[in-house]
Structure 1
């Protein structure tokens, strides 16, 4: 399985999840390391765009192509019935952070597949950096990524 990640150049080889651990996110609270990835380059682009103020074009980003072992037993797919009613709300609810924190704490799966709050039908994949199969996660390539400035026009 291939997933993608956009990050600043200085983090292009870092899959530790420390950035998410410091900041927290929709699917993890501060103090919980997790690596956010997407099922497509396009979703990565939109994920960065919605978190960037208009008028600011992100610079110095790289797109990572990441290989995950093709083993269904290491991927947990979050069921719609497990999603809190307000899972897409802004600011993100604590209930989604609890889901991600539990995923990491239980350490049963390498990945959890969660729906994108931005693009219906697309998915984010959160990688557990503590899972026993984490060493099998490989960055296949990195490439400088240039955002289309039209995404950031006021």
Structure 2
């Protein structure tokens, strides 16, 4: 059984696992083009927090985020490394990563795709396709709070 973690602003807690913006208005990100709904998760809540903090800062996480947890059988996820060869310096090539994410969603490779983290060398993130026919097999939970120590924000 694989367990992954997703953090979302508390105001979007109820839509944590379905995307909190309509797919057609989704902004481009590391692994998706604008208009494609991919949910981002991480192997550990600490990595999920770090991934968000590069965009909003750690202080913004304190008391403002909910913690989503998904559990799934191993067969519901694939690893990018088993599907494509990673180009050298892939971290700097957002067009390549976005194209991979598009293929993952449109060709429905699997419900979840394991991809390397850009910010932590040996960390793993997970892309989730909520439109995949087997998405309902994920065991989803959302907790009201994501607890982070105030000292991380210099308090």
Query: TM-score over 0.5 for the alignment?
Result: yes
Q: TM-score, normalised by structure 2?
A: 0.83
Q: From the two aligned structures, give the one with the greater helix fraction.
A: 2
Q: State the Cα distance separating 1:76 from its structure 2 match.
A: 1.7
Q: What does 1:17-96 align with in structure 2 at a 5 Å threshold?
A: 17-19=19-21, 21=23, 22-53=26-57, 56-58=59-61, 59-68=63-72, 70-72=73-75, 74-79=76-81, 82-89=85-92, 93-96=94-97
8 Å contact 2:13–2:142 — kept in the other structure?
no
CA contact (8 A) 1:49 1:152 kept: no
> Counterpart in 2 of 1:112?
113
The 2-side partners of 1:19 and 1:149 are apart by 29
Decide which moves more: 9-18 or 29-38: 9-18
* Equivalent residue pairs, number: 148
Report the 3-state secondary structure (helix = DSSP H, G, I; strand = E; otherwise coil) of the residue aligned with 1:37: strand
Q: Could you tell me how far 1:121 is from its partner in structure 2?
A: 1.4
TM-score norm. by structure 1 comes to 0.83
Q: Which runs of 5+ in 2 are unaligned?
A: none
C-alpha spacing 1:139/1:151, structure 2 compared with 1 (3 Å): same
SS at match of 1:44: helix
Per-residue CA deviations over 1:18-55 (Å, capped at 9, x if unaligned) read 5494122101111111111100011011011111157x
The more displaced of 74-83 and 21-30 is: 74-83
Q: Tell me the residue number matched to 2:146.
A: 145
